[in-house]
Structures are given as structure tokens and as C-alpha cells.
Amino acid sequence: MQKRRVVVTGLGAVTPIGIGVKELWDGLISGKNGVAPITKFDASDYDTKIAAEVKNFDPEKFFDKKAVKRLDPFSQYAMVSADEAIIDAGINTDKVNKEKFGVIFGSGIGGMVTNQQQHFNYFESKSPHVISPFFVTMMISDIAAGQISIKHGLKGPNYATTSACATSSHAIADAFILIQRGSADLMICGGSEAAITEMAIGGFNAMKALSRWNDRYLEASRPFDKDRNGFVMGEGAGAILLEEYEHAVSRGAKIYCEISGIGLTGDAYHITAPAPGGEGAVRSMSEAIRDAEISLNDVDYINAHGTSTPYNDVNETNAIKSVFKEHAYKMLVSSTKSMTGHLLGAAGGVEAIATILAVKNNIVPPTINLTNPDPECDLNYSPMTATKKEIKCAISNTFGFGGHNASLLFKKFED
């Protein structure tokens, strides 16, 4: 059976460097830094006092007061980004077959703000009667997908993915497969996270995973740099509208690019550390290239997972060299986490948008703060400033705790 082609027709984002795709893209190209001291709680006793928070987000601009109280921030970010993607795609949801329009929207953690607050309320009162009747429906990680579906009446496939940092990429991959096989014509997919809380920062601190450059916070997220010392937590959401090619053409849709390959693998190695040599990443990138039916030399850019952690950056670099051999030194690689921080379950959605726009606009976002390159990280990471180059095909990598690997391959749209 011939595969149905899948194209990207809408984008939406809520990020630490801007609300909306235009602010995100302008920020990425200009090297805008979203890292700052934590304001969501008093972090004075924490080892890490910095994060990449979403700024200037007023939920009452998007929801009525009752809805604000019944939506965890991760759901708010998800719904706002999904709304933007639908508007950007120029879709009137009343004029499409809603039974062929689905939602796959994931979260690595879900309603962490709600979960923590309800626990605080319970332990302060010692009474179960203080627990909100909306606690469960605000906290569960699938609820953002459900809320998007309910708001727009979308009755196609509807569920969430949860695979740590690979969450959004798995959502996009699943949506791609469902359209390819004919189960849907349109899918809103991506992920959302709002986990800058006392418990989450404390937990990642206990793991020694976060940067502690509190007095140098603008330099703290520095992928591939010799002085990197941990990732910086971020928050936000990225939404992508995928559409079957003929469906998009028939309605005269604006098409950003085509998604033509996915690679999904497991390390089967360790709960946090990547497999030696990036073995799982090697297979995920190789599978995406095979699935897209292109050659290695067709890939011009990789939006790296690039977490700014000692293990990931070297392993991913080695994986890229293992897959692409000498072509690895001809490609551009960059980590937008240097600007947005690590959005955990939302990372793949926001980084897929960056990759899509790199293909569309022939501009590769920079890796900022790369001032002292690690000798083991010796590829062209578009350091400090954006790079103009024709991008025919690009890969977005995301790798999650638990050994979850996902590579998404986007290519220039050709009618």
C-alpha cells in the first residue's frame, strides 16, 4: 500500500523566549536567552535558583476566570499553542470532517503545579475534604489532549504520550503514522510542560542534573561547551498541525514542509544515562532516514537534543558521526535548548517547530554560549549566531530518561 504524504500546515508555541511562533522564531534567530532567576516560588534554599520560565503569560487573556481555576498551567499552555496552530493553518473546524481530525498531545509530567498544591493543602489540613473535585482532571497528563479535543469538537484519534523528553516527538510520530495509514486527515500534535515547582526543581537537584550557575544564569545552558554542568529547566508548549497532503492542497493550505520519516528506538540500557556511543540515537536517526527514503547526504541540519549535560552532548555527537561519517562535518547541528532551556515533555514540539522553520526559511538557529567547545564535540554547531544555508532535509532529535529515542525528519515541500 502506498503511504499517504503528510505535510505541516500549522504551528503554535508558548515558550520562555516568546508567546506565539513569531516571537519564538525571532528569538531563536536573534539568540534570545530565556533563562532567569526563578520567580514561581522562593528558590533561595535550592541549589538551583534559575530556570527558563514562560514570561508575560496572562491566562485570563485566553480563558475565563472559571476555566483558569480548572486548568493546570500545562493545559493552558497546550490549549493556547493548539489554538494558534489551528488559526495558523487557516482551518475552519466547522467545515472539516471532525471524525478525521484528531489530537495527540503529551506531557512528561502533567499537572505538576496542581499535584503539588493539592498535596500541600492536604498535609497542612490533614483532611481529605480539602482536596479539590477537579484535582484529578487537572493533574492527569492526558487532560491537555482531552481539553483541546473538547474545545474544538475533534472526534478523531485522541490521546496523550508520556516518554520524558521524547514525549512530544512521540506524539508527532504517532500522528504522522495515523495520517499515513488513513485513520485521520488532520492531527494536532505536540506537548506541554509546566514543572517549574518546588518538588520538580528539588528532585532534579537531587539527581545532580541541573546547572547551578545561579550567578551566571545567562551562560548556564551551554550545549557542547566544555564548561557545561547540567541542563536548565524550561516550560511551555509546542503544537503542530499535520495534514494529509491532498487534503491540504484541496483547501489551498499554506504548507511549511513535509514530514517524511520517523525513527523510534529504545536504549534498553539505563534509567537516565544514554547508551554508550549513542547507540540508540544512531538507530533512531538511521531509521528516520530509511523511512524517508533519502540518502545521508540529503540531510543538511540536525536540531540536536543537546541538553548541556556531560553525557548527552558527547554521546549525541558520536552518534551523529557514526551515522553520517564524513558528511557529519558538512552538516549544521544546533541546540535551541541553549536559549529555551529544556522543556522536558514539551521539548520535542518546540524543537520540531524550530526545525520546520529552519527548513522553510533556510536559516539555522544558533547554539548560544558555545564559547569553549568540548574537544569531543567537534561538529559545526552554528555557534553564537544563526547560519544562513539552504536546508533541504533536517532531523529533530529527542532522547528521554528511560532510554526513549525519537528522530523526526522534515524536508522541503515539493508539489
With a cut of 90, say whether residue 300 has pLDDT above it. yes
pLDDT computed for residue 379 by the predictor: 98
Number of CB atoms found within 10 A of residue 146's CB: 17
pLDDT over 90 percentage in the chain? 97
SS3 73: helix
Q: Annotated catalytic, 189?
A: no
Cα dihedral 172→57→83→191 (10° resolution): 10
Ramachandran category for residue 312: left, alpha or beta (phi over 0 → left; psi -120 to 50 → alpha): alpha
Q: Annotated catalytic, 305?
A: yes
CA 324/CA 290 separation, integer angstroms: 13
pLDDT in tens, 198-247: 999 999 999 999 999 999 999 999 999 999 999 999 999 999 999 999 99
Average pLDDT of the segment spanning 59-84: 97
**H/E segment holding residue 13:** strand 6-15
With a cut of 90, say whether residue 342 has pLDDT above it. yes
In DSSP terms, 12 is beta-bridged to: 239
pLDDT computed for residue 1 by the predictor: 63
CA 140/CA 386 separation, integer angstroms: 38
Taking the mean position of all CA atoms in its chain, how far away is CA 362? 20
Average pLDDT of the segment spanning 292-321: 97
pLDDT computed for residue 31 by the predictor: 98
What are the residues whose beta carbons fall under 8 Å from the beta carbon of 187, sequence distance 6 or more?
Answer: 101, 102, 103, 104, 156, 157, 175, 178, 179, 241, 242, 243
State the pLDDT confidence band at 120, using cuts at 50, 70 and 90.
Answer: very high
With a cut of 80, say whether residue 197 has pLDDT above it. yes
Ramachandran category for residue 399: left, alpha or beta (phi over 0 → left; psi -120 to 50 → alpha): beta
Which one is catalytic: 152, 170, 247, 342?
Answer: 342
State the pLDDT confidence band at 196, using cuts at 50, 70 and 90.
Answer: very high
Structural domains of the chain, with CATH: 7-404 (3.40.47.10)
pLDDT computed for residue 30 by the predictor: 98
Mean pLDDT of the chain: 97
pLDDT in tens, 46-69: 999 999 999 999 999 999 999 999
Which one is catalytic: 152, 165, 393, 404?
Answer: 165
Which one is catalytic: 152, 247, 305, 404?
Answer: 305
Q: Enter the pTM of the model.
A: 0.98
pLDDT in tens, 235-256: 999 999 999 999 999 999 999 9
Let me know if 4 is exposed, middle or buried by CB neighbors in 10 A (0-12, 13-18, 19+).
middle
With a cut of 80, say whether residue 19 has pLDDT above it. yes
Helices 21-30 & 347-361, crossing angle to 10 degrees?
A: 70
DSSP letter at 4 equals P
Grid coordinates belonging to 118? 493539592
Buried b (16+ CB within 10 A) or exposed e, 284-323: bbbbbbebbebeeeebbbbbbbbbbbeebbbbbbbbbbbb
Closest CA to 319 of 252, 217, 259, 398: 398
Grid coordinates belonging to 65? 476566570
Average pLDDT of the segment spanning 334-355: 98
pLDDT computed for residue 2 by the predictor: 79
**H/E segment holding residue 300:** strand 299-303
C-beta separation of 107 from 162 below 8 A: yes
